[in-house]
Structure formats: C-alpha cells, structure tokens
Amino acid sequence: MPYVNIKVTNEGVTKQQKSQLIQGVTQLLETILNKNPATTVVVIDEVETDNWGIGGEQVTERRKVGK
C-alpha cells in the first residue's frame, strides 16, 4: 500500500530505467517493511532543469558550468 514519488530532472531517463526504478523501489519496500508489492504505487516526475533549483541556482545554469 505504500506510495512513492520520485522526482528527477528531465535529462533523458529511459523507459527501461523507469521500469528498473519501479521494480527496485517496490522490492525495497517488500524486503524492508514486508509491504505487499501488488498495491505499492510508484510515480516518477521528470522536472525541467529550468524548474529545479539547488543552491539557489537553476540546474540549467549549473549544467553549463559542469556542476
């Protein structure tokens, strides 16, 4: 029954990688907390780099200087 929301920047995450995240997180919750995988929900949000800030800066700008 857990609900997991994963937010990452929108920088080319593949369908396969999303599938691996969904599987991996669902397994963790089963292994660690004995949660039934059948009702574990995982939602992945891909956020534009203009819309994500860390250290007071847009990720778009950080990428330009190799951060």
Binding site for a second copy (CB under 8 A): 1-9, 13, 15, 17-29, 32-33, 35, 37-47, 50-61
For residue 65, the minimal CB distance to a second copy (Å) is 15
Q: How far apart are the first and last CA of the chain?
A: 37
Per DSSP, the three-state class of 57 is strand
Active-site annotation, residues:
2
Of 1, 47, 5, 46, which Cα lies nearest the Cα of 22?
5
- Distance of closest approach, residue 14 Cβ to a second copy, in angstroms: 9
